[in-house]
Amino acid sequence: MAEIKLSLETEIGRIKLKNPVMVASGTFGYGEEFAELVDLKKLGAIVTKTITLKPREGNPPPRIVETPCGMLNAIGLENPGLEDFIKEKLSFLKKIGVPIIVSIGGDEIKEFVELARRLDKEKGISGLELNISCPNVSADRKPPPKASLAKGGKTENRKPQLIAKDEDATYELVKAVRQATNLSLITKLSPNVADIVAIGKAAVEGGSDALSLINTFSGMAIDIETRKPRLGNIIGGLSGPAIKPLALKAVWETAQQIDIPIIGMGGIMNWQDALEFIIAGASAVAIGTANFINPHSAVEIAQGIEDYLRKNRIKSIQELWRTVLRNFS
């Protein structure tokens, strides 16, 4: 049988990817750390560790704990800050030759706006991922006061603890960042909400070009010998295979109702997992925890997707979607 002409190309906003497999924020440093191990040119895109305006030291150790079928992390956004990122990390990243997506975070909308305005001036950046969903910054550590719970989680003068938990705050943040930059905007959603699709819709209304789903699930672990939490921060974010079915459902539900591209992630360990996310409606996937087990995961997963398409004589991701009944009815 004749070989078919195959393309793994996909688009996230205005970002063109030669294959749909990227590395997830915080699990691949700033690329350089993996340069001797991995052929970085084979990645669909690189999403950097989240940077903030000023350097941050992160949370007290221990910051990572292994759990059944997953891991808990409470890194707490340790990063060198915007200026050092531009001076020391960006020059390496922009020479790689794959789209670079810079993940940005902060405690307030104006911090995101300032980051976006400054990064907009730099060459070699394809897009920004808005990390509005990190569950480890200190504001999220304390449970809400009882008064707040009695009012359904809201009090009049209380700011939401995470922007990603609030539709209005998500809309305001994305809209403000949209006005500060022409770079493609990807909003990264938290699964720690009642209705993730509603938050996604708010991001679309604000002007987001794409969505990343999902960040980690809030969790904790206790050492019964010391009778203390295993993480210095007490709570952390659960990732890895344990969360895959939950992440897949979030991607599928969102893809049913929202038309902008989705980057699916959460427990993807191999090409079969990645294909599940694409069949559920993701335009691309991001590999996170798997990088800690096998740094070649993303490259191997891209190859696995290519082999699957070839074997099934499907020419592209778009053609794969056409073979799928999205509502699975």
Ligand X SMILES: Cc1cc2nc3c(=O)[nH]c(=O)nc-3n(C[C@H](O)[C@H](O)[C@H](O)COP(=O)(O)O)c2cc1C
Residue numbers at the binding site for ligand X (CB under 6 A): 24-27, 49-50, 71, 73, 75, 103, 131, 134, 188, 215-216, 239-240, 243, 265-268, 287-289
Residue 108 Cβ vs ligand X, minimum distance, rounded to whole Å: 17
CB nearer ligand X, residue 181 or residue 239: 239
Cβ atoms within 10 A of the Cβ of 287, count? 27
Smallest distance from the beta carbon of 28 to ligand X, in angstroms? 9
Minimum Å gap between C-beta 142 and ligand X is 21
Closest approach, Cβ 281 to ligand X, in A, equals 17
User: Structure tokens of 172?
Assistant: 């305001």
Q: Please, which residue, 180 or 248, has the CB nearer to ligand X?
A: 248
Residue whose CB is less far from ligand X, 184 or 216: 216
Name the minimum Å distance from CB 239 to ligand X. Answer: 3
- The active-site residue, picked from 75, 98, 134, 231, is 134
Cα 258–chain centre separation: 17
**What's the one-letter identity of residue 222?**
I
Contacts 24+ apart (CB under 8 A), 90-96: 90/122, 90/124, 90/125, 92/30, 92/31, 92/32, 92/35, 93/30, 93/31, 93/32, 93/46, 93/48, 93/124, 94/123, 94/124, 94/125, 96/31, 96/40, 96/41, 96/46
Q: Quote the least distance from Cβ 323 to ligand X, whole Å.
A: 26
Question: Is the Cβ–Cβ distance between 164 and 190 less than 8 Å?
Answer: yes
User: Would residue 69 show up in a list of annotated catalytic residues for this protein?
Assistant: no
Q: Which is nearer to ligand X, 68 or 152 (CB)?
A: 68
Cβ proximity to ligand X: between 153 and 160 the closer is 160
- Are the C-beta atoms of residues 247 and 191 closer than 8 Å to each other? yes
For 130, phi then psi, to 5°, come to: -90, 110
Which residue's C-beta sits nearest to ligand X? 26
**Helix-, strand-, coil-residue percentages of the chain, each rounded to 5:** 35, 20, 45
Return the structure tokens found at 131: 């990390």
- By C-alpha distance, which of 123, 82, 97 is closest to 31? 97
Nearer to ligand X, 29 or 153 (CB): 29
Provide Rg for the chain, Cα atoms: 19
User: What distance lies between CA 271 and its chain's CA centroid?
Assistant: 18
Residues assigned a catalytic role: 134
